[in-house]
């Protein structure tokens, strides 16, 4: 790819270092424009939902709300990126003709309209079905069979639970403590409890089961008919009409099975024993489908925080009847009834409360927690992962030569081995990429952590590992990922100085802030169980 001749809309993680600057549309967005992209993407979604929610609410299930996260990631954020980056790119390059390759019809149409409004002739050379579908790992053979055949519900317990790592200890405590508030698996098992305990919980409390292919086929037919009947004529703004068509096309691709899962959940709840639905926040659409079913049945819901809150918090905080959050700083906006919000701490970090941090023996092993672009924000550039690792390695080579650097990619990174391309030419570091070791043992194996804006960075600091945050994005970060709370470096030289200071300090700098932000409380799981009992009382 050549800057001035080629433009790439979405940069793959592994190409972040090799793609020339100016060959990515993202290169034409400054910090202020990135914030504007986020703001516009959210506004585009809100306006579209206001226009379409009535037509796309089927049997009480609002498709525009259930699929909010994917609609933002696959439609509205890419659209806002195009609106803010394509015109500046074309103006800077000075092109008069643009040829698009490999885009779906909706994206190609938007590019054509934006280009035409800038006086650029746009020609579509080839198209794909979609470039925004998330890449998912193939299910196991057993999972494939279960999803095809389906599993009927067998509900005996009272609390339907959707598992997540930070929620699992609270579910385990609920199973131990109460015979009247038995957990029910949202599908078949609660795998975070371990195989033996998960089977025992399923035998005692039961499961919601799985909607089969026959029900899914009926759902797809109903959803498709509803989307096809939406009136799309009458829009005077061509770009607005193109965005609407883009959104409807996206929804038709991703939302077909929605009603099947809602129907199945309502059938499972019809027995009347369920008294509460408990889900993690930042949840996928399956949790929202469950919340639709519990709301229809008049069953209260509890949403439990499961990760560090980024910009603006979590949209799911507005969906559930009750919230369990990690610390007072995570309190939602004032319009939320404070009586429905309880600070419980983080059940997944309760085991760290009684752990005395032991500064690791110096073994010359640094753990790099790779920053990542994120699917729901434009604030961090698409090249950030490679830039983050390259800057970390440069600093380590300067301040810790002849040591080991272990790179931990984000779970969404599908090409982790690409970071090996950044091995310094002088070979001053031994570099490894670890995607398999559980996060806390991995962090504890090092004597230094170079972190990003993530929960894992807080875990490293709490464990007693000297921790420095590397922020190559150059934007304002939320607490505690800002100077004064945790040690921070923004470029290699500054990072090297921060590393030297952190290693020389007798204390773990920033640990108190990390403890608070991570919600470390010894009784966090019990607090969640107490809250469950109070809600259903």
Strand partners, 291: none
Residue 517: C-alpha distances to residues 331, 345, 456 (Å): 12, 9, 12
On whether the CB atoms of residues 386 and 452 are closer than 8 A, the answer is no
Tokens of 178: 């109460």
Do 325 and 274 lie in one domain? The reply is yes
Look at residue 513 and tell me if it is in a domain: yes
Q: Residue 466: which region, alpha, beta or left (left: phi > 0; alpha: psi -120 to 50)? A: beta
Do 262 and 308 lie in one domain? The reply is yes
Q: What is the pLDDT of residue 316?
A: 62
Look at residue 6 and tell me if it is in a domain: no
Do 108 and 67 lie in one domain? The reply is yes
The residue among 28, 56, 398 whose CA lies nearest residue 229 is 56
Residue with tokens 């259930």: 66
**Boundaries of domain holding 527:** 149-211+258-352+521-536
Q: Which helix (H) or strand (E) holds 494?
A: helix 492-504
Do 434 and 475 lie in one domain? The reply is yes
Do 104 and 42 lie in one domain? The reply is yes
Q: What is the pLDDT of residue 334?
A: 63
Look at residue 267 and tell me if it is in a domain: yes
What CA–CA distance (Å, rounded) separates 169 from 143? 25
Look at residue 62 and tell me if it is in a domain: yes
Do 384 and 483 lie in one domain? The reply is yes
Query: For residue 129, how far is the Cα from the chain centroid?
Result: 24
- How many domains in the chain? 3
Tally the C-alpha atoms within 13 A of residue 351's C-alpha that lie toward its C-beta. Answer: 9
Do 492 and 424 lie in one domain? The reply is yes
Look at residue 134 and tell me if it is in a domain: no
On whether the CB atoms of residues 289 and 269 are closer than 8 A, the answer is no
Look at residue 31 and tell me if it is in a domain: yes
Do 289 and 155 lie in one domain? The reply is yes
What CA–CA distance (Å, rounded) separates 495 from 310? 23
Given a cut of 70, the residues of the chain with pLDDT beneath it are 126-138, 282-283, 308-316, 333-335, 425-426
CATH no. for residue 419?
3.40.50.2000
Do 161 and 206 lie in one domain? The reply is yes
Do 33 and 72 lie in one domain? The reply is yes
Q: What is the pLDDT of residue 128?
A: 63
On whether the CB atoms of residues 22 and 14 are closer than 8 A, the answer is no
On whether the CB atoms of residues 246 and 79 are closer than 8 A, the answer is yes
Look at residue 232 and tell me if it is in a domain: yes
Do 296 and 323 lie in one domain? The reply is yes
Residues 437-445: contacts with CB within 8 Å, 24+ apart? 439/408, 442/367, 442/406, 442/408, 443/367, 444/360, 445/365, 445/367, 445/406
Over residues 39-71, the pLDDT tens digits come to: 999 999 999 999 999 999 999 999 999 999 999
Look at residue 461 and tell me if it is in a domain: yes
Do 83 and 154 lie in one domain? The reply is no
């Amino acid at each position: 790819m050549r800057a001035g001749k080629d433009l790439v809309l979405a940069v793959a993680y592994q190409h972040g270092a090799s793609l020339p600057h100016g060959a990515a549309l993202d290169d034409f967005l400054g910090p202020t424009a990135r914030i504007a992209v986020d703001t516009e993407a959210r506004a585009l979604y809100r306006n579209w939902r206001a226009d379409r929610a009535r037509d796309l609410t089927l049997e009480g299930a609002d498709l525009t709300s259930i699929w909010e996260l994917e609609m933002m990631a696959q439609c509205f954020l890419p659209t806002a990126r195009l609106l803010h980056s394509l015109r500046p790119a074309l103006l800077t390059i000075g092109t008069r003709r643009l040829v698009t390759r490999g885009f779906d019809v909706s994206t190609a149409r938007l590019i054509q309209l934006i280009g035409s409004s800038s006086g650029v002739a746009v020609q579509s050379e080839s198209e794909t079905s979609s470039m925004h579908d998330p890449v998912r790992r193939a299910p196991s053979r057993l999972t494939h069979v279960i999803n095809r055949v389906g599993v009927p519900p067998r509900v005996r317990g009272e609390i339907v639970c959707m598992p997540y790592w930070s929620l699992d200890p609270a579910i385990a405590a609920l199973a131990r403590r109460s015979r009247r508030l038995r957990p029910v698996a949202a599908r078949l098992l609660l795998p975070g409890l371990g195989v033996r305990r998960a089977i025992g919980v399923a035998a005692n409390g039961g499961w919601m089961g799985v909607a089969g292919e026959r029900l899914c086929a009926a759902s797809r037919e109903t959803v498709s008919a509803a989307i096809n009947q939406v009136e799309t004529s009458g829009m005077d703004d061509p770009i607005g009409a193109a965005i609407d068509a883009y959104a409807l096309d996206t929804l038709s691709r991703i939302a077909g099975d929605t009603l099947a899962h809602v129907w199945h959940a309502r059938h499972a709840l019809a027995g009347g024993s369920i008294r509460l639905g408990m889900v993690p926040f930042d949840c996928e659409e399956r949790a929202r489908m469950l919340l639709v079913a519990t709301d229809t049945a008049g069953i209260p819901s509890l949403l439990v925080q499961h990760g560090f809150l980024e910009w603006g918090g979590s949209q799911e905080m507005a969906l559930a009847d009750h919230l369990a959050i990690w610390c007072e700083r995570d309190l939602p906006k004032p319009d939320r009834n404070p009586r429905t919000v309880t600070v419980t701490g983080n059940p997944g970090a309760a085991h760290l409360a009684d752990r005395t941090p032991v500064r690791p023996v110096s073994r010359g092993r640094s753990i790099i927690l790779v920053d990542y672009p994120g699917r729901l924000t434009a604030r961090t550039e698409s090249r950030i992962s490679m830039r983050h690792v390259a800057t970390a390695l440069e600093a380590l080579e300067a301040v810790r030569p002849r040591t080991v650097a272990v790179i931990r990619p984000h779970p969404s990174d599908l090409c982790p081995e690409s970071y090996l391309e950044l091995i310094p030419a002088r070979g001053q570091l031994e570099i490894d990429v670890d995607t398999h070791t559980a996060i806390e043992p991995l962090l504890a194996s090092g004597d230094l952590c170079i972190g990003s804006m993530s929960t894992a960075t807080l875990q490293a600091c709490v464990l007693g590992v000297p921790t420095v945050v590397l922020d190559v994005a150059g934007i304002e970060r939320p607490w505690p990922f800002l100077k004064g709370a945790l040690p921070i470096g923004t470029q290699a030289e500054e990072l090297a100085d921060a590393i030297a200071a952190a290693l020389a300090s007798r204390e773990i700098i920033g640990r108190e802030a990390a403890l608070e932000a991570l919600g470390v409380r010894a009784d966090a799981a019990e607090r969640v169980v107490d809250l469950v009992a109070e809600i259903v009382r």
